[in-house]
Amino acid sequence: MSVHVCLFAIFVLLSGCPAGIWAARRPGGSALIYSVCAAVAAVMAGTALGVLVRPGETAGAVLPMGVPWLQAHFEIDALSAFFLLVINLGALAASIYGMGTGRSEPEAGRILPFYPLFLAGINLVLLAADAFTFLLSWESMSLASWALVMAHHRQSETQRAGFVYIVMAAFGTLALLLAFGLLAGTGGNYAFSQLRQAGPDAGLGVVVLLLVLIGAGSKAGLAPLHVWLPLAHPAAPSHVSALMSGVMTKVAIYALLRILLDLLGGVQWWWGALLITLGALTAVMGVLYALMETDLKRLLAYSTVENVGFIFIGIGLGMAFQANGMNAAAALAYSAALFHVLNHSWIKSLLFLGAGAVLHATHERRLDALGGLIRRMPYTAFCFLVGSAAIASLPPLNAFASEWLTLQAILLSPDLPQWLLRFLVPAVGALMVLAAALAGAVFVKAFGIAFLGRPRSAEAEAAQETNRHAGAAMTMLVVLCVLAGIFIGPVLHVIQPAVAAIVERPALPGFGIADIAFVAPTGVGGGSYSGFFVFLFVAMSAWGAALAIHRGASRATRRSPAWDCGFALNHPAFQYGAGSMAQPLRRIFGTVVFRATETVEMPPPGSVEPARYCTTQRDPAWDLIFTPVAGVVAAIADRIDGLQFLSIRRYLAMMFAGLVALLILVALWR
Amino acid sequence: MHSLAFDIAHMFAGAMLVASFALLYQRRMSGIVDTYVVHSLILTVAAGWQAYIQDAPHLYVTAAIALVFKTLIIPIALRRIMRRLDIHRSVETVLGIGPTMLLGVGLVALSILLIFPVTESADAFAREDLALALSVILLGLLTMITRRNAITQVIGFLSLENGLILAAVGVRGMPLVVEISVAFSVLAAFVVFGVFFFRIRERFDTLDVQALGEFRGERR
Amino acid sequence: MLVGLLLQGLQMALVLALAPLLVGWVRKVKARLTRRRGASVLQPYRDIFRLLHKEAVLADNASWLFRVAPYLVFAAIWVAAALVPTYATSLAFSEAADLIVIVALLGSARFFLALAALDAGTSFGGIGASREMMIAALAEPAMIMLVFSLALVAGTTSLSAVAEHMLTGDVGLRVTLGLALIGLVIVAVAENGRIPVDNPATHLELTMVHEAMVLEYSGRHLAMIELAAAVKLVLYVSLLGTLFAPWGIAQFGAGPQALAIGIGAWVGKLAVAGLLLGLFETSIAKMRVFRVGEFLGAALLLGLLGTLLLFVSRNL
């Protein structure tokens, strides 16, 4: 029943695609399309929540479409339902935002047809229960998002972003195609139920793992395949960026979990070791890139890379525990990872919608051209502040809770028998907490430079508050983030059926719906945390202190120019900018990782020219991996280009040689 | 056998490890010599303690050698020569201090990875002491290769040798410990003298007052 | 239950009351060691009282965040200090938060203080905020790695349980505890803005970190921030005392006599720590700002080393 509701909703979305072409030319058209998308998202989120709270119901449907001997299989189980819930709440927020800004969008004709298609593709990936449907939906999701990224196609930066994105997306889909092919073998039975029964095979598992890491990992943003993310996510319109960062990366994580843990099975401990290493490197690299960034949306994109790293650390720990039979610890690690999926999706959508509001009001993405927006756009500033505090893992907000759970899982790791894991996990833990602390620095910079201080440009001075639809979308996400941080127990209770779909385990204490107050994952005597009480204590202490002082002491204030140690000349350009805020950390980390240099060109004495200060950085992923690979590919392409100019006899000889080679292969194989 | 005696032995080995890391952290010449004094002092106390709990009086001789030779004579000689030859005050490193210390932690992990699986049947405390001593040795080697200055390389070598003595005293019933200590100390003395004769010859070439005067253009 | 709440409330009140006294005592020790008479140890109380009754001068472009931040900073630090066992190991609120939450609460105090520094729109706010975030980016991970070492020794991250374990458990002398002690002292010096990381009494802008962040604050806001800094010092000293010198702490279910001994022992530890801190600050010089990274990196590596040793062996 739930499956049919979802499929009908997706059909409505697919019909929105041609409707979007029609609606782009009508004045109220974009509002109509976005409201239909919002309604559909709400319905799907509700359905998914229903499936999650009534565990044991695995509904399926087979539609007579697609490949003739296979048909299209769809299924909702607890894991899909969880991801459906996460994704549709993010889609709901983005669609509500779109209702507000859609009418002033110049390229509506390029966005409206593809937006419903994108949502449909995302939801179909989660519902797909056979390899063809999965890959078809995955590819439609990629292509629709590519079309949305190319919406503002006249800017050269967008063109480059689109090119890199389509190459990486195609490459990723190819890897997933090969992975499914290997899983199905020569039998040709591609339905998930049959792939599940095939059972694990050791040698096959290695290749499938690597292919899935390339395919799903590149879509999620795993280093070093993350390079398309900071190009493509900022180039798209803001609500689409929110969907790509907050939602599409989570679909990739779903694909990884589904293929590796459900279809392949037979988890090995070194899979866990590989995933936590990649996750730790991704987290640290992502946050270091974000620190060096001066563009607000690209900073948020790199922060997505960092959080995907955290999620991979949680999943890797779960795999390591599961392979060693420590199922309770595995359940804790997986719960932490899935909780972080939920948290990051909401927080990143909130931040991107806020950045979109700023971009819409000032037409500026560069942090060094913003400033003082807390007075011009107070509500947006408040929502962005909550988002920044959340992503910097401050208690009692939600991302702190998932980080706390992951750290508790790390503390259970000394019981792991493998030596490599015992050395790797402390190092990974150190990298993870380093990344979390650096994320705090990143968001002090992002919020402080963009919203606080004085306006650094005329556009920032003239900014207006955003419309009420964007405000409503951001409010919804702020409320969700705060509630998820305070009432952790019920949220974890909703996650448990999804975890149970991955690993068999006893019920974890403190994860029940009645445990509103405390979370104590390792039982009595272990560490425990109560978001509710921490929130209560801090709020009461702050309010009580303010009350006591205002009543007992003075509450007088007076305005005056800033003291600034007596400097009279106080131009806004003297404020710290994004590059200056990052300078101490750039000196420490940037010289090693990015080969960052600072040079000062002083004019000769007596000259009135200004001195120039410039910093340079090199991106190690491009320098070490992609530029050499692109060079090799270009060199090979140049050689092969010679094939364009052969004579007819040579072409015939080539075809004959190919035919003979294939016949030899067939003869030998037999 | 979770007794206080073995815990204290562990503490001394751990303190030597921390002192080796402190040696990696130093940027000034005087700091390096002072840290080496602390390093040798901890070795003295560790050797003395091992002599006490193993009831092996010949280890007291090792402790005495460490005290007299390494804590007093060598550092005094080093400081005197440094003052005479006006050796450069700060240490140049090949990598930064941070990456060097990170490599140090990696070396500790390596030595644990090496010792623990191999000596499964041995007593747990002996294994850990051996792993810590091997870490001190590897860190001494790291100090030698990541510094450009000859004095620091000598001190790295001396701390490596301290690690060897620690390993030797930590193992119960090791023969010829005293003889090994004396031999290593003589070797260390010869190394130190060798380095200084080399430096003095270099220096005296350029410290020639007349040549210096000609460079400054005061004497035509 | 009621007794537990009373003890918790007493701790919160004592921490707040004794914090300025500790600051005054450290200043007195430093003055005496530099052959000055120094101000009275009660001077910080008078300073705070005076500031509370003055009018607060706000910069023209200071927003609501500037006015709210001092209270948030104070609340976060006070709640964190309420969770550190000082004279009794069991606290009523200890189930709500463990060591990791304490570190994170201090981090959130720092987050809002850095934002308030940027709000004034001056370059000094930027200097303070950027340097403070550099110190935080290394001190916080170092602290959490040290928390890991302690949690692996005691088997839990709940601070009350760790304190009980240190007091009554079969702990003995362990290498990782030695490493944790050194690391925690380094982190405490950095987080409280003491020499060699930051000079709390400086007037030179180029050497400021914490002072640059609060340069624009005056009146009651400045009083709250100074009080918060003093409470933070008490927090770290109590943490060091509870973990590494736990003698005299009253155990769970002890009578009023044991509690009185506990309070006396705690005040004694504060006095000794103040003396040692004064000695330490007077005897070394402040580091260059970019050397602080190496200093804290050493603490992080000590924490990592301790955790690594505990992962491979239960005896270390």
Judge whether C315 is closer than 8 Å to chain B, CB to CB.
Answer: yes
Min Cα separation A574/chain C (Å): 6
The whole-number pLDDT of residue B136 equals 94
Strands A557-560 and C56-59 turn out to be: parallel
* Pairing relationship of beta strands A557-560 and A597-601 according to DSSP bridges: unpaired
Q: B207: pLDDT confidence band, cut at 50, 70 and 90?
A: very low
Report the distance separating Cα A477 and Cα A80, nearest Å: 22
Q: Is C308 on the interface with B (CB under 8 A)?
A: yes
C-alpha torsion angle, residues A456, A462, A467, A473 (rounded to 10) = 0
| Omega of the bond leading into A509 within 30 degrees of 0 (cis) | no
Neighbour-count burial for A201-230, b at 16+ CB within 10 Å, e otherwise: beebbeebbebbbbbbbbbbbbbbbbbbbb
> Would you give the DSSP letter of residue C193?
T
CB contact under 8 A, C118 and A584: no
pLDDT cut 90: percent of chain B above it: 22
According to the per-residue pLDDT averaged within each range, which of A25-39, A287-301, A604-618 is highest? A287-301
Give the model confidence (pLDDT) of C224-259 as tens digits.
999 999 999 999 999 999 988 888 888 877 788 888
Rounded to whole angstroms, the Cα distance separating C167 from C164 reads 5
- Tell whether A588 is within 8 A of chain B (Cβ): yes
**CA gap A494, A326 in Å, rounded:** 22
pLDDT of residue B208: 43
Roughly what angle, to the nearest 10 degrees, separates helices A419-451 and A296-323? Answer: 160
Contact A212, A256 (CB under 8 A): yes
Query: Is residue C38 a contact partner of residue C77, using CB atoms and an 8 Å limit?
Result: no
For residue B178, what pLDDT is reported? 75
Nearest to A557 among C56, C136, C148 (CB): C56
Whole-angstrom Cα Rg for chain A: 26
Scanning the structure block, which residue is given the tokens 């005054």?
C24
Q: What is the mean pLDDT of residues A226-234?
A: 90
Distance CA A231, CA A289 (A): 13
- What does A332-343 look like in DSSP terms, one character per residue? HHHHHHHHHHHH
Q: Which of A247, A263, A236, A248 is nearest to A157 (CA)?
A: A236
Closest CA to C96 of A259, A517, A54, A388: A517
pTM above 0.90, yes or no: yes
Q: Which band of pLDDT confidence, cut at 50, 70 and 90, is reported for residue B1? A: very low
More confident residue, B216 or A259: A259
The pLDDT of residue B19 is: 94
Query: What would the two tokens of residue B23 be?
Result: 């040696």
Q: Which secondary-structure segment (H or E) carries A634?
A: helix A627-641
What is the structure's pLDDT at B128? 85
**pLDDT at res. A9:** 84
Question: pLDDT-based confidence at B220, cuts 50/70/90?
Answer: very low
Radius of gyration of chain B (CA): 20
Range among A23-27, A536-540, C199-203 with highest mean pLDDT value: A536-540
Do A322 and A267 contact (CB within 8 A), yes or no? yes
pLDDT of C229 reads 95
Give the pLDDT score at A321: 92
Alpha carbon separation from B154 to B87, C64, C221, C294 (Å, rounded): 14, 60, 56, 24
Q: Does C294 touch chain B (CB under 8 A)?
A: yes
Average pLDDT (C165-192) is: 87
Give the span between the Cα atoms of A457 and A128, in whole angstroms.
49
DSSP letter assigned to residue C83: T
CB-closest option in A438, A545, A563 to C74: A545
- What integer is the mean pLDDT of B50-55? 86
A56: exposed, middle or buried (C-beta count within 10 Å: 0-12, 13-18, 19+)?
A: exposed
Reported as a pLDDT band with limits 50, 70 and 90, residue A623 is confident
What per-residue confidence (pLDDT) applies to A490?
85
Q: CA-CA distance, A636 to B187, in Å (whole number)?
A: 60
Q: What is the mean pLDDT of residues A627-650?
A: 88
Looking at residue A603, what DSSP letter applies?
Answer: P
Q: Report chain B residues whose CB lies below 8 A from the CB of C183.
A: none
Read off the pLDDT band of A56 (50, 70, 90).
Answer: low
Interchain pair A592, B109: CB under 8 A: no
b vs e for A425-447, b when ≥16 Cβ sit within 10 Å of the residue's Cβ?
Answer: bbbbbbbbbbbbbbbbbbbbbbb
The answer, yes or no, to whether the previous bond of A396 is cis (omega within 30 of 0) is yes
| Nearest Cα residue to C242 out of C146, C167, C142 | C167
Among A144-148, A205-209, A210-214, A264-268, which is the least confidently predicted range? A264-268
Lowest mean pLDDT among A319-333, A386-400, B99-113, C86-100: C86-100
CB-based contact, C55 to chain A, within 8 Å? yes
The distance between the two most distant Cα atoms of chain B, rounded to a whole number of Å, is: 79
Please answer whether residues C284 and C277 qualify as being in contact, where contact means their C-beta atoms are separated by less than 8 angstroms: no
CA gap B179, A272 in Å, rounded: 50
How far CA B127 is from CA of A70, A516, B118, B130, in Å, comes to: 61, 47, 10, 5
- Report how far residue C314's alpha carbon sits from residue A596's, in angstroms, rounded to the nearest whole number: 42
For A247-261, the pLDDT digits (tens) are 999 999 999 999 988
Contact C63 A374 (CB under 8 A): yes
Q: Which residue has the tokens 């392979």?
A: A323
**How large a percentage of chain A has pLDDT more than 90?**
49
Q: Which amino acid makes up residue C35? A: R
Chains touching chain B, criterion 3+ CB pairs below 8 Å:
A, C
Return the pLDDT at A515: 56
- Average pLDDT score over chain A: 88
Helices (H) and strands (E) in chain C, counts: 11, 1
Q: What is the pLDDT of residue A424?
A: 92
**Of A211-215, B66-70, B88-92, C12-16, the least confident:** B88-92
Kindly tell me if the per-residue pLDDT of A525 is higher than 60.
no
Closest Cα in chain C, distance from residue B132 (Å): 10
Residue A460: CB atoms within 10 A of its CB come to 24
Q: pLDDT tens for residues B96-150? A: 888 899 999 999 998 988 888 777 777 777 788 888 999 999 999 999 888 877 7
> d(Cα A39, Cα A34) in Å, to the nearest integer?
9
The stretch A346-356 carries a mean pLDDT of 95
The string of DSSP codes covering B50-62 is: HHHHHT-THHHHH
> Rounded CA gap, A209 and A206, in Å?
5
Region A622-647 average pLDDT: 88
C-alpha torsion A270→A272→A273→A277, nearest 10:
140
Q: Do A592 and B98 touch (CB under 8 A)?
A: yes
Calpha distance B220→A302 (Å, rounded):
67
Dihedral (Cα; C279, C285, C290, C294), 10-degree rounding: -50
Is the Cβ pair B10, C297 closer than 8 Å?
Answer: no
ipTM associated with this complex: 0.94
Element (H, E) at A600: strand A597-601
* C-beta separation of C91 from C7 below 8 A: yes
Domain spans in chain C, listed from the N-terminal domain onward: 2-312
pLDDT at C45 exceeding the cut of 90 = yes
Query: What integer is the mean pLDDT of A405-409?
Result: 92
pLDDT digits (tens, 9 = 90+) for C275-314: 999 999 999 888 888 889 889 999 999 999 999 888 887 7
Q: What is the pLDDT of residue A573?
A: 86
Residues of A in contact with B113 (CB under 8 A): 419, 423
Selected residues 159-178 of chain C with any CB under 8 Å from a CB in chain B: 170, 172-175, 178
Residue A423, chain B, CB below 8 Å: the answer is yes
